[in-house]
Amino acid sequence: GIQVEQSPPDLILQEGANSTLRCNFSDSVNNLQWFHQNPWGQLINLFYIPSGTKQNGRLSATTVATERYSLLYISSSQTTDSGVYFCAVGGNSGGSNYKLTFGKGTLLTVNP
């Protein structure tokens, strides 16, 4: 199956700093999503981005499908950005529209 690797595993920032999270995947995909899990466990879909670039406020994401990686940018970080950021991909094989493979996540801590 598809392998998903995220880096760094942990990241500590001061409020106001910028950061870049990376997701590498081992095969071609037709779906790539970034999620944020808050400290209480709630998972929120940030971006659906199988290719190209998208922006939503202070967050933006870029996926280079031909090189099998995606980047999540967080600018002017706030303490509420703390939590775990997951990358998840869906492959091109049959049934892939129903399945996501998750990376292990990046644990982000933003200190005031």
Partner 1 sequence: DGGITQSPKYLFRKEGQNVTLSCEQNLNHDAMYWYRQDPGQGLRLIYYSQIVNDFQKGDIAEGYSVSREKKESFPLTVTSAQKNPTAFYLCASSDRGRVETQYFGPGTRLLVL
Task: Catalog residues that contact partner 1 under the rule CB under 8 A.
Answer: 1, 4, 31, 33, 40-45, 48, 86, 88, 90, 95, 97-100, 102-105
CB nearer partner 1, residue 13 or residue 49: 49
Coil, strand or helix at 38: coil
Q: Closest separation between CB of residue 44 and partner 1, Å?
A: 8
Question: Please, what's the largest Cα pairwise distance for the chain?
Answer: 46
Q: Closest separation between CB of residue 65 and partner 1, Å?
A: 15
CB nearer partner 1, residue 41 or residue 112: 41
**C-beta separation of 92 from 28 below 8 A:** yes
CB nearer partner 1, residue 60 or residue 75: 60
Give the span between the Cα atoms of 11 and 24, in whole angstroms: 17
**C-beta separation of 106 from 7 below 8 A:** yes
